[in-house]
Amino acid sequence: MNRTPIPFAAWASRWIEALLTLWLLASLCFVLLRAAPGGPFDTEKSAPPEVQAALAAQYRLDQPILAQYGAWLGDVLRGDLGPSFQYPDYTVNQLVAQALPVSAINGGLALSMALLLGVPLGVVAALRPGSWLDRALMLVAGMGLAVPKFVVAPLLVLLFAVTLHWLPAGGWGDTDNLVLPVVARALPNLAYCARLMRASMLETLSAEYLIAARARGFGGVRLLFAHALRPALLPVVAWLSPAMINIVTGSAVVEQVFGIPGMGRYFVQGALNRDYTLVLGVVLVVGASIVVINALVDGLRRWMDPRLRDATP
């Protein structure tokens, strides 16, 4: 098959669009943070005026908002996310460097669990449509989709930590601390993956080329793995992008419930304490992560589907 090369201008346009999106996102967040009532040093109102003035000058809060925005944007372009207001002994770069691997480990394990269990369960349900097993799996998957993470996480703590004492209720550092937060983040995605895989496999099994293959004597495991599985996985691969984004953006609730020092927890704490630079740093890193995730998933889809390799973006 002849492949049409993707013009460099198209790729450049994509990345320029991604950078503009990040800039607009960060700029909007900057404006909203400054417009919100309260400030990062409201608790210091009992301090002498000269101390308050020194704090404002140290963090450029005594400058006009446009000057603050220009200085912050210049620092970001140099790779400096600024000092943290809430954690004065750390820069935002240091906090992000500590938190990003924690969130990445939790999110990666949650997505792996969703795929490793969701894909086989969807295939099993599709191979026995209408059976009791199919109905039971889809019922459980529907319940998994209906219950949000902010309900699942406390329920897991109540059952496995408080009642059964099998696992710790929170914290970070041991393998046992990973189990409950990973399960809480994985369950909704696992349920959706199983339902999506079932629907895709049913559609693939009814395709004409598979009917013809069965007529020529192909069947069983050979038909499933050699002809049906790869095309059936294409919708699941396309779903990976929103699934990963959901795991990234949904980390705040789970990390708060389990006391995990990740990006989501820092974002919540920074927003509550008006730590402008910390919130903006998390927004930028998460936004950049989403851009990279979309690019990786798009490349994976092109590798798996020849029709996409021949199409220009």
Domain of 235, CATH number, reads: 1.10.3720.10
Query: Over the stretch 127-183, which tens digit does the pLDDT of each residue have?
Result: 888 888 888 888 888 888 888 777 888 889 898 988 888 988 888 878 888 899 999
Domain match, 44 and 120 both: no
Residue 213's pLDDT is: 67
Distance, in Å, from the CA atom of 33 to the CA atom of 274, rounded to the nearest integer, reads 7
Domain match, 66 and 153 both: no
Domain match, 255 and 164 both: yes
- Give pTM, 2 decimals: 0.82
Domain match, 30 and 158 both: no
Domain match, 125 and 183 both: yes
**165 within domain boundaries:** yes
Domain match, 168 and 254 both: yes
Residue 42's pLDDT is: 66
Contact 56, 62 (CB under 8 A): yes
Domain match, 30 and 134 both: no
Helix 251-258 and helix 263-272, axial crossing angle in degrees, nearest 10:
90
- Pick the last residue of a domain from 77, 108, 139: 77
Domain match, 69 and 103 both: no
Distance, in Å, from the CA atom of 258 to the CA atom of 74, rounded to the nearest integer, reads 36
Low-confidence ranges of the chain (pLDDT < 50): 1-5, 312-313
In this structure, what DSSP letter does residue 43 have?
Answer: G
**86 within domain boundaries:** no
Number of domains in the chain: 2
Query: Over the stretch 42-68, which tens digit does the pLDDT of each residue have?
Result: 665 566 777 777 777 777 888 888 998
Contact 99, 106 (CB under 8 A): no
Residue 120's pLDDT is: 92
Residue 248's pLDDT is: 78
**291 within domain boundaries:** no
Residue 193's pLDDT is: 92
**122 within domain boundaries:** yes
Domain match, 41 and 107 both: no
Helix 263-272 and helix 92-127, axial crossing angle in degrees, nearest 10:
130
* Residue of 175, 187, 86 lying closest to 144 (CA atoms): 187
Domain match, 126 and 245 both: yes
Q: Residue 259 — φ and ψ, nearest 5°?
A: 65, 40
- Write out the residue range of the structural domain in which residue 68 sits: 25-77
**15 within domain boundaries:** no
**283 within domain boundaries:** no
